[in-house]
Amino acid sequence: MKVTTFGVVGSGQMGNGIAQVAASSGLNVVMSDIKEEFAARGLAAIENNLARSVAKGKISADEKDEILGRIKITTNLEDMAAVDYVVEAAVEREDLKFNIFRELDKICPAHVILGTNTSSIPIGRIAAQTSRPEKVIGMHFMNPVPVMKLVEVIKGIATSEQTFDITWELCEKFGKTPAEANDFPGFIANRILMPMINEAIFCLYQSVGKAEDIDTVMKLGMNHPMGPLALADLIGLDTCLAIMETLYDGFKDSKYRPCPLLRKYVEAGWLGRKSGRGFYTY
């Protein structure tokens, strides 16, 4: 199956990043969101990213215009009937993703692959919401999408080899390096990363160190480019909590228990960079 038109459901930080790399690779893109203002904001973020690339000499002004010309925004999920492959990039809520997949299954022709950018929810559970589980797959991009090279590709128990191969080739077309993960909660990336972030939050909670010192230890002692608390703020503390809860529910192991301080921050609306306040103030 040849993919020429690519759909993205959700125009937030991850969704607009995925739309940008897809359009930059030459595909026509349909990016949807529930409100026009959200979709317009996503398109503006893409335009800003591309303008920075022009300023740095990475692409020409004409190339920027060509990429933007390949992106259509919409608030009507029915427009996904025109795509060959769609990736859902909504917030990390199981009920919301299930509803989107049930709708996409009705809207999209039978040949269309339904991908999900979920960072932790098992693919098999999402695939079970559709009549085409063999065409459902995890395509987990890293943040920020235009910069980060990795895409985790996750097969559910029913995902076909053809679906996997097409997804793998798409990742390479986007200039990414795919890595295969099996369908367990959190897959590879977040099964390792999130408990580390959670433990850093416990260190703050128990006054083992201040936020700046915890991040300095990990940056200078372990050569991480960003400290775990600053990274949590970038990811979004609500997303971190949702992933920890998925790990805890999925494995029933106390080592995945979300730190109470993480829950307290999320309940207070301190979600990190996107809210202006998390472990740091922005």
| Catalytic machinery residues | 119, 140, 152, 190
According to the annotation, is 13 in a ligand binding site?
Answer: yes
The H or E element that residue 125 is part of is helix 123-127
According to the annotation, is 12 in a ligand binding site?
Answer: yes
- In terms of Cα–Cα distance, which of 151, 14, 171, 21 is closest to 89? 14
According to the annotation, is 119 in a ligand binding site?
Answer: yes
The H or E element that residue 162 is part of is helix 161-173
Sign of CA dihedral 159, 163, 169, 174: negative
According to the annotation, is 175 in a ligand binding site?
Answer: no
Identity at 13, one-letter amino acid code: Q
According to the annotation, is 274 in a ligand binding site?
Answer: yes
Say how far apart CA 23 and CA 43 lie, in whole Å: 12
Say how far apart CA 274 and CA 271 lie, in whole Å: 7
Instruction: Please confirm whether the linkage preceding 144 is cis (ω < 30° from 0).
Output: yes
According to the annotation, is 64 in a ligand binding site?
Answer: no
Annotated binding site for NAD(+): 10-15, 33, 92, 97, 119, 143, 274
Annotated binding site: 10-15, 33, 92, 97, 119, 143, 274
